[in-house]
Amino acid sequence: MSPYISRLRSILRYLGWADPIYKWKLSRGNCPVCGASLFISLKPSDFLTRCLSCKGNAVSLSLIPVIKKQFGGRAKTAHAYELSTYGATLCYLKNNFGLVTVSEYMPDEVNGAVINGVLNEDIQNLTFANDTFDLITSNSVLEHVPDDIKGLQECLRTLKSGGTLIFSVPLYGTPQTIKMAEVTPHGISLLEEAEFHDSRFGGPKSALTFWRHSHHDICDRVRAAGFNRVELVDVVLAPSQGLPTKVVYATKD
């Protein structure tokens, strides 16, 4: 399928989640890239809220204030790793950090290989050396990782002492995280009704959801991977987004 057709299908699906157009709202907010800016919300949702200036999605933009607070003026000497090849977070990293590594996950390709100019990395088995990065970031990745704890452990291993993991995942109000699917010797076994997310890299409905993470235990899951200092940071960029985006912030001792 043409990447343009794939992208168009994802946009149409995105619009399908929106409220009727007469319910769309504009609000003034504080874009961490543009400064004061207008945001449009197609629904009271961070996922359906965008800055009209830089076009950044509020979910991806919400990591940036947390990154700024942690790194400040030392970003120019820091090495950041972002687990996707697009998005507002990546744009900010490229413009502000001294060195930025980027990857995607292509399961049918060799882990650690460069495929058509894109580094292929499995977060469950990163090919980087210990103590490589000052910062690791991701948006909507860990819910698609069969063993999310192992992925977090790999982040911990490849972070330098004092390094930081800052990420977001869809968070639900369930008492605890729900396992949606698992990998078995016979293939993928569904434990709940199959749920797929769109990916700009893989196309519409290309990413199977393995986890529905709960905001009640997400910090405990990150601690289980070995991070001692973990917190959820509420970020509101514009009133029309409704509830805050919850950003996970964890540091390596």
Each residue of 199-221: pLDDT tens digit? Answer: 777 777 789 999 999 999 999 99
Number of domains in the chain: 1
Each residue of 169-200: pLDDT tens digit? Answer: 999 999 999 999 999 999 999 999 999 997 77
Closest CA to 168 of 246, 233, 252, 92: 246
pLDDT of 1 > 60? The answer is no
Which band of pLDDT confidence, cut at 50, 70 and 90, is reported for residue 2? low
Which band of pLDDT confidence, cut at 50, 70 and 90, is reported for residue 59? very high
User: Residue 106, Cβ neighbours under 10 Å: how many?
Assistant: 18
User: Residue 176, Cβ neighbours under 10 Å: how many?
Assistant: 14
3-state secondary structure 89-110: HHHHHHHHCCEEEECECCCCCC
Which band of pLDDT confidence, cut at 50, 70 and 90, is reported for residue 143? very high
Asked whether 234 and 245 are in contact (CB, 8 A), the reply is yes
pLDDT at position 6 is: 61
- Indicate which CATH number applies to the domain containing 199: 3.40.50.150
Domain interval for residue 111: 3-251
Percent of the chain with pLDDT over 70: 96
